[in-house]
Chain A
Amino acid sequence: MRSPLPPPPPRFRAPLRAGPSAARWRWGGGGMQRAVGSLPLGPALRARLAAAGFQTAQELLDTGPCGLSREIGISKEEALEALQVVRQECSGDAARTAGGAGTTRKCTALELLEEEQAQGFIITFCSALDNILGGGVQLTKITEVCGAPGVGKTQLCMQLAVDVQIPECFGGVCGEAVFIDTEGSFMVDRVVDIAAACVQHCRLIAEAHQEEDHQKALETFSLESILSHIYYFRCRDYIELLAQVYLLPDFLSEHSKVRLVVIDGIAFPFRHDFEDLSLRTRLLNGLAQQLIIIANDHKSAVVLTNQMTTRIGQSQSTLVPALGESWGHAATVRLIFHWDKSQRLATLYKSPSQKESTIPYTITPHGFRDVQPPAVTQNTESTEMNPRKRPRREEEK
């Protein structure tokens, strides 16, 4: 490490402005006046720049790569790389302040409302569940499903992986699905059954309506195409899960039609082998952040399943969702599946726009369904309410 350089003569520096206002101006400004400490350069490099006296990005750009390499004692290539990073950051800043699109995340509530109304829902084939969710599993939101073992969480996930692929003319979002499995409970044979029932259902609708785009959509909506568009990853421990979530944005950019990411069993890899609970909380929070970014940027729904754990109280013990209290903040919408003797119930536990309610559901050989009979009649005429919601039919039972 070289000895720190003597302060350079003033003519190589922009004149220092005295006074507190100058400091504020340098720190808070974007673009060329951005302070060196806030640039995304390596920490060692930043330390050297600070020691050499550089304060704003403009100074760096004025000095040029050769001057920079001489002053700080780095190679010319490193200096060039640093300057390129600086240039990119500053032009990005300028674009942002000029109100450019892309990475801006600000908009008015009206724009948001329009977006939300145009937003698709992924239906679950259980009309009662769709109703309490406000139309189905919503895109760009994280939905968490908790439940006791064997209650139907994986069945719902498999159903959604099929339903996301329903073509738009039948009321679906026509997307693909990513299925990340940590428990090994994904059964291809079951997905085949569910997909076959779904195709049959759409076929019946097409026959009843006899429209051309229905027929055309049915040609591409077959069993093979449904199965080929479910991308399956089997993660055996939490490191593989973390690695896969880091790689997901690239994967989703390549497969831009993905509209659903399912992580079946987010609790399982985190519930053993963890002595350090604070590390677990940190990793889970990081995971939640990345999933929120994925959900928003790629306009897809993220569905997670969680286990239940026994919390021993003083006189009794209750079943609560696993992974602790802080995890409860990660999901936007939370569903709890539970049993009432031999009836399966789903409760909407947390939602920003719908009220808490409980409905019964059942699992049939065709998949996730209502408990018979569903209220069919009022839905057939209400298509003007939500043009994407296709009418239900009796034949699906």
Chain B
Amino acid sequence: MAAKKLRRAKLPQELCERLSRYQITTCQDFLCLSLLELMKVTGQSYRNVQKLLCQVSLACAPKMQTAYEMKVRRSVNPSSAFLSTTLHSLDEVLHGGVPCGSLTEITSPPGCGKTQFCILMSVLATLPVSMGGLDGAVVYIDTESAFSAERLVEIAGNRFPAYFDSDEKLFCMTRSIHLYRELTCDSVLKRIKSLEEEIISKKVKLIIIDSVASVVRKEFDTQLQGNLAERSNFLARGASLLKYLAEEFSIPVILTNQITTSLSNGLAIPADLVSPADDLFLSEVSGAPGSGKKESGCVTAALGNTWSHSVNTRLILQYHNLPTRQILVAKSPVAPFSVFFYTIEKSGLVLQDGKDQSSLTQEGTNPALQTIQVRNTVLKNTLVDAALPSSTGAAPGDPSNP
């Protein structure tokens, strides 16, 4: 692609040598120059330089496909377009499940079920295609050391008792889940870069990173000057690498995120044409800000606006009434905003069908600012909080007594 050397773009040999004297060796260097600079550097006429530009562009440009070819390719191999989550209503709304070839993000307050969901998806990916899986290995990058192998075996055994009837099958499944513990941003990035070879050698069919937010927030303090830009840079680079892997190998990539408090300061919101809410992620409070702050704040997904652009699908898990929780489809190119209820059982996540299914309403809001209900709102002591102004975001259900 960009780092392609010019001689592989089939430029004549003496021209490449001449260009290398000016330190122009890759296609990237060539295409970043203006036409006059190119004329000076190659010593050719205007028309010739345009021809050279076309030649180098041909070496770099992507291949064309029509939408029809894409559709045909997908319909020929329908099972490979999605990884079914076995949560039936969710799969229906998402047109099949977690899509292959794009990034899916799971956001939730702590303890709501992100890691459980990831463990469940790992089991599903190792299942054979006939059972809705991808029959492949899983790369699990764990930054919080939250992965529990025992829980993995428990979920597998309870969800598919007929299939995992022997120890042999369980061992086989656990052997194909490759766990990496990375604790810094750099090592996570290095690990992602090395994944390309691993995917081919180990026949990986699912990448899970649990969680992106923890390692990023440890290292980047956004209150310091310049850290916000660096953080966005790191996230954007990671996102584009992962997108490349997802598309190249047609596999799903699942990332988890944490929550933060988004405060809108008390100033009147100016009537300008940009987004009405102010995006100010100040304190990284995980948990309900029930401490009597005067500003109204709401709990939303962390990592900011740019990250919300980079992920293609966003699923939010939040608390409803204990033990029921909700899963929201906040951002998806194929699904409208929908809400489902689930609980966490021995066999992983279980959807509760038929309980106030408000699917297919178009009531979503900005996925970067979608308010999330956290646990403490449910356990709130009503006596104490009657005196304090309520400072949790407006949520569809009210925090009734547990």
Contact = CB atoms under 8 A, between A and B. Distances in A.
Given A236-B1, A271-B236, A363-B362, A318 B278 contact: yes
B32 interface: yes
Q: When A and B form their complex, which 6 residue pairs have the shortest distance between CB atoms, in order from nearest?
A: A272-B236, A40-B46, A227-B68, A243-B57, A243-B60, A239-B2
A42 B44 contact: yes
Nearest to A41: B45
A60 to B, nearest CB: 14
B56 interface: yes
Interface residues of A, number: 83
A319 B57 contact: no
B62 interface: yes
A130 B48 CA distance: 44
B362 A364 contact: yes
Contact of A316 (B32, B43, B265, B304): B265
Interface in A224-260: 224, 226-240, 242-244, 246-247, 250-251
Given A154-B333, A227-B71, A239-B28, A273 B237 contact: yes
A150 B331 CA distance: 6
B62 A338 contact: no
A301 B334 CA distance: 26
A238 B60 CA distance: 11
B67 A188 contact: yes
A240 B61 contact: yes
B45 A310 contact: no
Interface string B272-284: 1111111110000
A271 B312 CA distance: 17
A41 B46 CA distance: 6
A48 to B, nearest CB: 11
A395 B361 CA distance: 20
B66 A42 contact: no
Given A243-B56, A283-B32, A308-B275, A149 B309 contact: yes
A356 B32 CA distance: 36
Nearest to A180: B62
Contact of A319 (B61, B244, B279): B279
Contact of A318 (B68, B99, B274, B310): B274
Contact of B31 (A45, A233, A239, A349): A239
A339 interface: yes
A312 B228 contact: yes
Contact of B305 (A148, A239, A340, A342): A148
A235 B65 CA distance: 12
B366 interface: yes
Interface in A204-235: 224, 226-235
B306 A365 contact: no
B267 A339 contact: no
Interface residues of B, number: 81
Nearest to B74: A188
A149 B304 CA distance: 11
A85 interface: yes
A241 to B, nearest CB: 9
Interface in A356-388: 356, 358, 362-365
Interface string B1-44: 11000000000000000000000000110011010000110111
Interface string A312-331: 10011111100000000000
A190 B63 CA distance: 22
B54 A246 contact: yes
Nearest to B27: A239
B314 interface: yes
A45 B46 CA distance: 12
Contact of B267 (A45, A151, A316): A316
A282 interface: yes
A111 to B, nearest CB: 30
A357 to B, nearest CB: 10
Contact of A235 (B62, B74, B237, B274): B62
Nearest to B337: A342
A148 B62 contact: no
Interface in A143-177: 148-151, 154-155, 161
A351 B306 CA distance: 27
A227 B66 contact: yes
A150 B368 contact: yes
10 contacts: A150-B368, A161-B67, A226-B67, A230-B67, A239-B28, A242-B32, A247-B58, A251-B64, A273-B233, A341-B365
Interface in A180-219: 183-185, 187-192
Contact of B65 (A45, A148, A232): A232
A44 interface: yes
A273 B2 CA distance: 12
A140 interface: no
A191 B67 contact: yes
B47 interface: yes
Contacts of A33: none
B305 A308 contact: yes
Contacts of A296: none
A347 interface: yes
B367 A309 contact: no
B305 A231 contact: no
A27 interface: no
A318 B2 contact: no
